[in-house]
Structure 1
Amino acid sequence: MTFAETLVSWYRQYGRNLPWRETVDPYIIWLSEVILQQTRVDQGLPYYHRFVERFPTVEDFASAEEEEVLRLWQGLGYYSRARNMHKAAKEVISRFGGIFPAQYDELITLPGVGDYTAAAIASFSSNEHRAVLDGNVFRVLSRIFGIDTPINSTEGKKVFKELADELLPVGNPGEYNHAIMDFGAIHCKPKAPLCATCVFRLECRAFLEEKVHALPVKLKGRASRNRYFHYFIVEADNHILLSKRGEGDVWTNLYEFPMIETSEDYPIGDIAHHADYQRYFGDAAIEPVGGVIKHILSHQNIFARFYRLEEGVAIKEKKTQWNYFLLEKIDTLAKHKLIFTFWDKYRKS
C-alpha cells in the first residue's frame, strides 16, 4: 500500500469521531478549525458546541456584538482569533452574500484564515485537492521521512509543503487530511508516541535511527519578556470595580480588575507604597489574595498578584476606564483567561 492508503486504512479503524466531521457545511467546519487552533480537542469541544448553538448560521454570527463573541470565547485565550472570526463573518455577509465560501482561493481572503485553515475547510467541505500542514502533520512527516529541516524556517516550510502536496491522494483529500492529523494527534504524539504498534515502524526513519524525540526540529523564537501586574479587588454595595482594556496591548476590550504594572515584582504588601497606588487608593488597607500567578502569552510572561482592598474604600483618583458593575452582572462581561480563572476560584472561596 502507498503511504496515503496505509494512513487512511489506519484512520478508518482508529480515527476520532468528531461532530464537525459529520457535515460538509464550510461555516461549521470553519468554526471548528478556528476554535481548535492552538487548542486541544477536549478543551475546544465545549466551545464548539456553544458557538454552534448560539450562532447556527453565519448571519447570526455577523449580527452579534463583539463583546458577546468575546464572552463566549473567554477561557480559550488568543482573543484575536475571536475578533477575526467576527470580522470574517461580517465579510461573508458583505462580500459573499451570506454564503460561506468553500474554495481555497476565496477562503484565504477572510480575516484570520491562513493557508492551513483554508486548505482544511476546502478539502473537508468541497473535497478540493489541498494538503493541510499543521503541527501534527509536520511531526508525522518529519519523523517518518527523517526530515531535520526546521519546520518554522523558510526552507522547512517549502520542503514540507512540497512533500505534503506529493503525498496527497487524488480522489478523497479530505479523508486523507483527517487521517494524517489524527495520526499525529493520537498516535505519533509529541511525547510517548506509540512506536511499538505503529503501521509505519518498519519504514519510519526516526524510529529506525532512534531520532523520534529529536524530530521535528524547530528554531527557537525570540526570548519572552516578563511583566508584573498587580490587580486590586474593590467592592462597594454589591458592586465591584472593573477596568476595560484599551487598544495597543494584550487583551484588547476585555475586562479585568484595576491594575498597576511594575517593571519588577514587589514583595507582598509593598505595592501599597507605590506612587500609583497612593495616587488611586491613598492609604487604603490592602490584603493579598493568594500568591503569584504566572500566565504565559506569546513572548510574554505575566506575573500577576491580586489584592483585596477594604470594603467601600474611597477612590482618590479613578481612571476613565474604571467603572463599578453589579456583582451579579460579572458573568455577562468578557474577561481574559487570567481574570476569568481567578474570579471563578475567588467567588467560590
Structure 2
Amino acid sequence: MTTTTPHPTAPGTPAPTPRAVLAGIPAYVPKPPAPPAEGPAHRLFLNENPYPPLPSVRETIARAAAEAHHYPTIHPERLTHALARRLDVPPAHLVTGPGSVGIYQQIGQAVLEPGDEVVYAWPSFEAYPIVTRMAGAVPVEVPLADGVHDLDAMAAAVGPRTRAVLLCEPNNPTGTAVGAAALERFLDRVPGDVLVVLDEAYFEFYRSPDAPDGVALHHDRPNLVTLRTFSKAYGLAGMRVGYAVAQAPIAEALRKCAVPCGVGRVAEEAALTALEVEAELLERVERVVAERERTRAGLLGLGWEVLPSETNFLWLPAGSDAERVAGEWERRGLLVRAFPGDGLRVTVGSPEANDLLLTAAKETVPPAR
C-alpha cells in the first residue's frame, strides 16, 4: 500500500489571503456581556422577546424537527403565500431570508457596485456598514439629531453616486422614530433610481398614531423595499426568518441572490403557525409595550435620561459612562448592550428583569447630563 506524506509548505510560499476590504469591516456583534458568577442572568442586550414561543408553535417545531433530514424548498413557498394573504400583496412582491440580515446581504449583492454610495444614519443598525463595505460600496453616515434620524441631512447627502438609502424606522439602537408624515416627505425627495430600504423590524411595537406602514407605501414607490422579521414580536429569533416586500422587479432580483434553502423547513413551519396564532402573540406584544412604558417612567423618575421608544428596548444616552454602567449592571445579572461613548441599549425584559433593572438604576450613579 502506498502512503502519501503531506508536503510541508515551503518557507515564503504565498498563501490565500482574504479580500483587503475585510480588514476594515467590524464584527457584526461584539463580544456579548459576561454572565454573572452567581445567580441568573437576564439577557437584555439582543432585543429578544422575553416570552418563549407559544405552546402551539413549540409543538409545530417538534413535529417539523422529525423531518429535518429532508431539504426544505428552495424558497419557502407556503410561507410566501401565507404572508401574501396576510399583507394583501402579490406573492411576486415577497422575498424571504434567514432574518432581515440575510436579506440585507441579498440587497448588497443585487444592487450595489464598487464605488456606489450608501446613505444611512449613524448610529443605526450595525449591519449597514458591513453590507455596504462587503459590496465595495462607500458608506455615507449621517449623524442622528438628538437620537433621531436627521432626514433633511440624509436627503442632502444623496448625490449622483448614491445607489441606496438604508433607514431603520424605528431606529436601532435608539428606539426613536420619525413618523409617517416626515418619512413620506423624505421619500419624495429621494430620486427614483435610488433604492430606499425601510427596516421595520420593530413594526409591531410602534404605537404612535403617526406610525408608517412600509408595506402600504411600497405599492406607489418602485424604489422602496420594506423589511420585517419574525425575530422580535413573534419571538422566533432562533428560527431566523425575515422577509421583504418590494415591487416585482426588485423582489425578483433579491430572490436571485438568496441562498437556496435559506429558510429551513422547521423555521418555515414555525413561522406559519405563528401567523395562525398572531392575535395571541400580539397580546404578548402589548405586555412588552406596557413594560416598556413602565420601565422608562421608572428610570426617568430616578433621574436617568431615556429617549422615547417605539421598539422593545430603551436607549439611555450615557455617553462616556456607558461601559461603567453596563459593567455595574452585569455584576447584578443584567446583561445590557453598551455602545462606548454613546449610550446603553436595554431590552425590555420580563417584569422581574425590569424590576431588577429599576433597582440597579436606583443604586447606580446616573451619568452626568
Q: TM-score, normalised by structure 2?
A: 0.29
Largest Rg, 1 or 2: 1
Whose helix proportion is higher, 1 or 2?
A: 1
**Relative contact order higher in (CA < 8 Å, ≥ 6 apart):** 2
